[in-house]
A and B are shown apart, each in its own frame.
Chain A
Amino acid sequence: MGKLTNRTRLVLAVSSVMFLAVLAISPFKDFRREWKQYKHSYLRFAQTRPDTKKLVADYRPDIDQIWLPGMNVVDRCTTCHYGITQASLADQSVPQPFRAHPPIPHNVRDWGCTICHRGQGPATEVAEAHKSTLAWEQPILPTRFIQASCGTCHYADLPQTPQLTRGRALLAGLNCQGCHRLPGVERPAMLAPDLTNVGTKVSREWIYKWLKEPRTIVDKDGNVTVNGYEAEDEPRMPKFRLTETELRGLSAYLSVQKAKAFVSYKLDARVVAAWTKNPELASQGELRFRQMFCSTCHSLAVTRAGETKLIGGDIGPELTKVGSKVNPDWLITWLRDPQGYLPHTRMPRYGWSDEDLFKVTRYIATKLTDPDLLTGVPQLGQPREDEIQLGRRLFLEKGCASCHVIEGLNPQKDFGPDLSAIGGKNTSELEFGASKIPHNLVSYIQAKLQDPASVNPAARMPQYNWNQPDLDAITTALLSMKGAPPTSALQNLVVPRKEVDFHPTGAFEEVYERYKCYSCHKFNGYGGDLAPDLTYEGSRAQRQWIVDFLKNPQTLRPTVVLRMPQFNMSGRDAATLADYMTMVLQHPAANPTAVDAKQFTLAMVALGKQLYEVKYQCQSCHTIGGTGGYVGPNLSNAGDWLTPAWIEAWLRNPQALVPDTIEPRRNFTADEVRALTAYLTTLRQSIKPQKTASTTAKHAATQGAGR
């Protein structure tokens, strides 16, 4: 070894110090790790709380992890989100990440975090855990779409997730399944009107106008909003981006669709002659229009106090200007037998007389019109053969055939992309094109829904006008569709959708189909939700009452507007329906022989009356003979309406009969149940068998407000 110079010594000394400093970087970096900082600040935070001891009782300075091998969950979120199970940290003023998780039906330790919130569970850095990185493409789900995560397992609709339920209803209601494959959304027999004979119904000009701007009504400033008026729902027919040539072609093709020779129904000439000169023709027609409760399913624009609004139901189309749309001869034939034109329509067949038909069609053709409806539409003239051929090709290429049927035309299968796994797509699988939106799944879905051409200029998807809540609801429903059902080694996590169906047969089926009872009423889970569920109607109502009600409907609840149309039902039809209901639509818990009405004594009735009025004060919600509350049904006619067995079973446990009823389950003793049943079966109120002309007029004018 040679002698070291001072200079070399200095170099060695300095480099040793430097080397030690470099060695120290690694432990220092380890000490400064993000999660350790959060752990330290949790300890400091806990010191400021009154229940410090409880908050730090289980504190460990290392990584906290929820490991659920069965579900492939390794979630280290609780390392920093340490307070999520501490009830005392629930307050909004507690800073994140220490705030407690709001109470939910699932235990966090049993399910982990990423199952619902997404993100990267094993990550130990804020950015990696929450944001999308190249190695992990599922970022945290924004909280306002969190209900999507409920939907990945709960295929059945939950009352707790209104946004998800609304989104699923929108997907089904707007016929998204016409073009896209969606899990759990079935294709009904008819999505949109069958256009096989549309040429007999409307003119070529009207078709042109409708295709150009499906919302036919434009407000006075020329602005087109949803249907021109404040309407709650998106119209089912969306706007397609069509050029002038395409509009001409499609309108030409559709206007020649007259597969079945149109046989116009000839009204009795004497009726026409007698009414044509009557000045009250239109007003009488309007009266019949109202009496038939057309507005239960159809809406009309009504101007009140300077504000125009659509009033009425949305089961059928809006009718404000229908007189300028349809051929008057077609209208008469349609009203007389809707199923003759559209076999799958939801429009019932009313028992119209020729007089009614004439009055109502004249009312529609003269009052529900708009002379300006077709302004701006060029004179199209007779369709040319090349236009028809172009229209036929476009009808298939634009996807019209996915919802609308034309006999003899075969639509392309799976016209739009399969959406059954859209909610689990990675960012790298999405085509953003030239758009400037943030590259993540939520932005992609929302941009695509708002303007399909923004992410793909060649998109065939039509244009919708969403409001923000609907846009978020439908995004939530799409995000919930993650493809293959989630599984666990321990249990099947999927809560399946309840399969419902109702296929009556025989004489009942014929009448049920003719009046389309299921458009409004539910039977065994199948049908509409506008009117009461009739699944157990046979247990609830007495046969004679059902017959009387069908012939002459009236409302039972003081606050509910009567919407049941008078079908001019024959006695035979009413008896067929009532017989089937009393025989088949029975609840297993309401045994018809359980209560013998003959055993009721006057003392029991008196006790029941006292219980009703004093002890339980049922009059807070129910009305008897003009006094009482508006919440429950009117009981004035309970003795003729309800079966004693139903009353008795209902008093014991209402939820056992109708699970979602709002009548609270009381703690009645057996004697009290019997006394109340005895009292209620004595309540009777005679109903006039037929309405007189003046009362019907008044009734229709006020839209039916009880008896």
Chain B
Amino acid sequence: MKFHVWFGALLLMTLAGAAACRKNAESAKADPLLSAYDTEADWNDAQHVVPLSFQQAQGKRIFYQQCVWCHADSTPAGPSNRSNLTPVPPLLNDRATLNAESDEYMQNIVALGGTAMGKSAMMPPYGRMLSAEEIRSVVAFTRAIAQPPYQPPARAESQYSAK
């Protein structure tokens, strides 16, 4: 009899202890659009909405202030200036032109202008007006809305990395 009481009490304690070890809380699957700082509808497909991070959202803001006039077909003010220009500037989501360029090249052409990079002088330099951070964010926005998505070039493994 005594043995059963002891045993039962110990068993209960063990179970209570084991129950106290909780499982890891499962992380809820959040909708990426709800947790995005801002969004932008795909220019070719309005149903496809791209979530933007803070940096990309800043790029979007600067794009719609500075660049939209020549690098988009519709602007907040109505007609686009794009048709006035020769050569015609690429659209911002133009994958054939922009996905082929590196981030460094894109930052340089925004900062230094078309002339410095051997392109049309109609592209003015923005390096004295926008900060390096702002230019980076514009390029980040470009990458975010490129269709199909921009794939950064695979970086060669460092020759010093131990393998």
Chain B residues near A21 (CB-CB < 8 A): 14
Q: Check A144/B34 contact, CB under 8 A, given A628-B84, A629-B85.
A: yes
In the complex the two chains form, what is the Cα distance from A665 to B120 in whole Å?
Answer: 18
A181 to chain B, nearest CB (A): 30
B125 touches A160 (CB 8 A): no
A630 touches B27 (CB 8 A): no
A32 touches B21 (CB 8 A): yes
Question: Beta-carbon contacts of A618-638 to B below 8 Å, as 1s and 0s?
Answer: 001100000011110000000
Interface stretch, picked from A11-19, A399-407, A419-427, A447-455, is A11-19
B75 to chain A, nearest CB (A): 8
Chain B residues near A92 (CB-CB < 8 A): 32
Q: Which of A10-52 contact B (CB under 8 A)?
A: 10-11, 14-15, 18-19, 21-22, 25, 28-29, 32, 34, 37, 50
Check: A666 CB closer than 8 A to any chain B CB: yes
Check: A146 CB closer than 8 A to any chain B CB: yes
B65 touches A662 (CB 8 A): yes
B34 touches A655 (CB 8 A): no
Instruction: Report the nearest A residue to B152, measured CB to CB.
Output: A91
Q: Check A662/B66 contact, CB under 8 A, given A7-B3, A103-B55, A655-B129.
A: yes
Check: A667 CB closer than 8 A to any chain B CB: yes
Q: Check A37/B24 contact, CB under 8 A, given A103-B54, A146-B37, A667-B125.
A: yes
In the complex the two chains form, what is the Cα distance from A664 to B128 in whole Å?
Answer: 8
B6 touches A22 (CB 8 A): no
Question: Beta-carbon contacts of A49-75 to B below 8 Å, as 1s and 0s?
Answer: 010010000000000000000000000
Question: Beta-carbon contacts of B41-66 to A below 8 Å, as 1s and 0s?
Answer: 00000000000011101100100011
B46 to chain A, nearest CB (A): 16
Q: Check A104/B54 contact, CB under 8 A, given A96-B27, A630-B79.
A: yes
B125 touches A22 (CB 8 A): no
In the complex the two chains form, what is the Cα distance from A14 to B128 in whole Å?
Answer: 81
Instruction: Report the nearest B residue to A24, measured CB to CB.
Output: B17
Check: A371 CB closer than 8 A to any chain B CB: no
Instruction: Report the nearest B residue to A130, measured CB to CB.
Output: B25
B147 to chain A, nearest CB (A): 16
A102 touches B84 (CB 8 A): no
A629 touches B2 (CB 8 A): no
Instruction: Report the nearest B residue to A50, measured CB to CB.
Output: B157
In the complex the two chains form, what is the Cα distance from A125 to B24 in whole Å?
Answer: 9
Check: B117 CB closer than 8 A to any chain A CB: no
Check: B121 CB closer than 8 A to any chain A CB: yes
Question: Beta-carbon contacts of A122-143 to B below 8 Å, as 1s and 0s?
Answer: 0001110000000000000011
Chain A residues near B66 (CB-CB < 8 A): 662, 664
Check: A275 CB closer than 8 A to any chain B CB: no
In the complex the two chains form, what is the Cα distance from A53 to B54 in whole Å?
Answer: 28
Instruction: Report the nearest A residue to B130, measured CB to CB.
Output: A664
A704 to chain B, nearest CB (A): 14
B8 to chain A, nearest CB (A): 11
In the complex the two chains form, what is the Cα distance from A28 to B21 in whole Å?
Answer: 8
Q: Which of B106-163 contact A (CB under 8 A)?
A: 120-122, 124-126, 128-129, 157, 161-162
In the complex the two chains form, what is the Cα distance from A11 to B1 in whole Å?
Answer: 11
The contact of B69 among A160, A621, A667, by CB within 8 Å, is: A621
In the complex the two chains form, what is the Cα distance from A34 to B26 in whole Å?
Answer: 11
Q: Which of B10-29 contact A (CB under 8 A)?
A: 10-11, 13-14, 17-18, 20-22, 24-25, 27
Chain A residues near B25 (CB-CB < 8 A): 34, 125-127
Chain A residues near B128 (CB-CB < 8 A): 664-667
Check: A545 CB closer than 8 A to any chain B CB: no
Q: Check A629/B125 contact, CB under 8 A, given A18-B14, A102-B53, A102-B54.
A: no
Instruction: Report the nearest B residue to A621, measured CB to CB.
Output: B81
Q: Check A102/B55 contact, CB under 8 A, given A34-B24, A34-B25.
A: yes
B54 touches A14 (CB 8 A): no
The contact of B37 among A34, A102, A662, by CB within 8 Å, is: A102
Chain B residues near A353 (CB-CB < 8 A): none
Check: A532 CB closer than 8 A to any chain B CB: no
A143 touches B14 (CB 8 A): no
The contact of B10 among A22, A28, A126, A664, by CB within 8 Å, is: A22
A159 touches B27 (CB 8 A): no
A15 touches B18 (CB 8 A): no
The winner among B7, B10, B75 for most chain A CB atoms within 10 A is B10
A142 touches B84 (CB 8 A): no
Chain B residues near A621 (CB-CB < 8 A): 69, 81
The winner among A162, A631, A660, A667 for most chain B CB atoms within 10 A is A631
B89 to chain A, nearest CB (A): 9
Chain A residues near B80 (CB-CB < 8 A): 630
In the complex the two chains form, what is the Cα distance from A22 to B79 in whole Å?
Answer: 77
Check: A591 CB closer than 8 A to any chain B CB: no
B56 to chain A, nearest CB (A): 8
A17 to chain B, nearest CB (A): 9
In the complex the two chains form, what is the Cα distance from A560 to B79 in whole Å?
Answer: 10
Q: Check A11/B2 contact, CB under 8 A, given A102-B54, A126-B27.
A: yes
Q: A146-B37, A630-B79 are in contact. List 18 more A-B contacts (CB 8 A).
A: A11-B3, A15-B10, A18-B11, A19-B10, A22-B10, A22-B14, A28-B21, A34-B22, A37-B24, A96-B27, A143-B36, A144-B34, A559-B78, A560-B77, A660-B65, A664-B128, A664-B129, A666-B124
Interface pairs (30), CB distance under 8 Å: A14-B3, A14-B6, A14-B7, A18-B10, A19-B10, A21-B14, A22-B13, A29-B17, A34-B25, A37-B24, A92-B32, A102-B37, A102-B54, A103-B53, A104-B54, A104-B55, A126-B24, A142-B35, A143-B34, A144-B35, A160-B61, A560-B77, A620-B70, A620-B81, A620-B85, A621-B81, A629-B70, A630-B69, A664-B124, A667-B125
